[in-house]
Structure 1
Amino acid sequence: MDGVEKEANRPTDSSSVPKHPYKDPDDGRQRFLLELEFVQCLANPTYIHYLAQNRYFEDEAFIGYLKYLQYWQRPEYIKFLMYPHCLFFLELLQNANFRNAMAHPGSKELAHRQQYFFWKNYRNNRLKHIVPRSLPESSAPPPPTPPAPMPPMAVASALAPSQMQFVGQTISALPKVDMRNSMGDRRKRKKEG
């Protein structure tokens, strides 16, 4: 019996699971939301500049945290992101040269400007890839029919300026009115009358 008691009282391996592991009360929801918020903040070059100015990028633990956050690039997590540029900047932050460069205001402005131009032209660039392409030659549509001749009155109206052009000309011909002067004139006329 002594052998059995000694074995029961023997300390367990450090690799074995403890009897009472930590149980997150909200199943990691709070941690998920905090990491999601932080990763999305990285889409802002001004925030990255703030981190660089306050020397967060000199802390090895923080650099390790940035490496850890790369799991957000996996499809099961990427669907929660609203600002996809955060992943681009997260990837750039893995490079020490980029982290050092973002401490300078000029680099921050350059990154912000490039991001703006990307957003400005993003829709047009995407439309180039979305718009359907022309059909192959074998199923080409029938040739168009020639247009019918226009009656003489329609020719005259086609040569005349449109109504919008006329409105634009009349508006530009009107004198500009300074509202301060017109109000003062009205008060003077009211007193005189």
Structure 2
Amino acid sequence: MNLSSYKDPDGGRQRFLLELEFVQCLANPTYIHYVAQNRYFEDEAFIGYLKYLQYWQQPKYISFLMFFCLYFLELLQNPNYRTAMAHPANKELAHRQQFYYWKNYRNNRLKHILPRPLPEPVAPQPPASLPPVPSASPAPSPMQYNNMLPKNEPRNMVSAGIDPRKRKYVLLSSS
């Protein structure tokens, strides 16, 4: 059979899905450790396949990926990293770093994308002929806030003798 005349029956969909699944498996340090333990990283054809898979970094393919696997795909291009991942301690280190990254990813990202509060507006200065307005009393202490809550606030319902199971109807009727 001539390879140049071969037509993929599903238009390459099966190959695309297999490569997508494999690239996403690279987001798992335990899987990378398994591959290193079984000496796949010593096979030049497999190394060539890892280089070929870098096409997933293109914007038209990146949208299909669900995990942070491109980082590991990039690391696997380095022969030192491939040999280091055969050691169980390095697998655990990579897994731990990945865990802490995912654990703090949302909070770290929110620090950079949330808008900063606007500066307080400066009150206009009264004309010089009017006497100065006395300053407002200081803000109440946090202990005083509890007494300022409305009586139908869910936190006060139990102390007010309202059955917590019926609080939904009490809140709706007071609106």
Matching of residue 22 in structure 1 with residue 9 in structure 2: no
Cross-structure match for 1:131: 114
1:87-102 matched pairs, under 5 angstroms: 87-102=70-85
Distance (whole Å) between structure 2 residues aligned to residue 45 and residue 124 of structure 1: 23
Q: Structure 1: which amino acid aligns with 2:136?
A: P
Aligned CA distance change for structure 1 residues 57 and 141 (closer, same or farther; 3 Å): same
**Pick from 131, 136, 159: which aligns with 1:146?**
136
How far is the alpha carbon of 1:148 from its aligned partner?
Answer: 8.2
Larger Rg: 1
Q: Which one of 22, 25, 28 corresponds to residue 44 of structure 1?
A: 28
* Superposed CA offset, 1:27-57 (max 9, x none): 0000000000000000000000000000000
C-alpha deviation, 1:146, in angstroms: 2.9
Q: Which residue of 2 aligns with 1:15?
A: none
Which residue identity is paired with 2:54? Q
Between the aligned partners of 1:147 and 1:132, the Cα distance in structure 2 is: 30
SS of alignment partner, residue 72 of structure 1: helix
Is it true that 1:64 corresponds to 2:64 in the alignment? no
1:72 counterpart letter in structure 2: W
Q: What residue is the counterpart of 1:78 in the other structure?
A: 62
Tell whether 2:94 aligns with 1:111. yes
Q: Flag structure 2 segments of 5+ consecutive residues without an equivalent.
A: 124-134, 149-154, 156-175
Amino acid at match of 2:44: E
Aligned equivalents of 1:102, 1:30: Cα separation in 2: 29
Paired residues in the alignment total 134
AA aligned to 1:42 is L
TM-score by length of 2: 0.69
Distance 1:51 1:148, change over 3 A: closer
The answer to which structure has the higher helix fraction is: 1
- Alignment correspondent of 2:163: none
Q: 1:123 to 1:147 in 2, by over 3 A?
A: farther
Provide the aligned C-alpha RMSD in A.
2.8
The two structures have a TM-score, normalised by structure 1, of 0.62
C-alpha deviation, 1:142, in angstroms: 4.1
Q: In 2 relative to 1, CA 149–70 (structure 1 residues): closer, same or farther, beyond 3 Å?
A: closer
Q: Residues 62 and 148 (structure 1 numbering): CA distance in 2 closer, same or farther, change over 3 Å?
A: closer
The aligned counterpart of 2:103 is: 120
Q: Any gaps of 5 or more consecutive residues in structure 1?
A: 1-17, 159-163, 165-193
Deviations 1:43-99 (A, max 9, x none): 00000000000000000000000000000000000000000x210000000000000
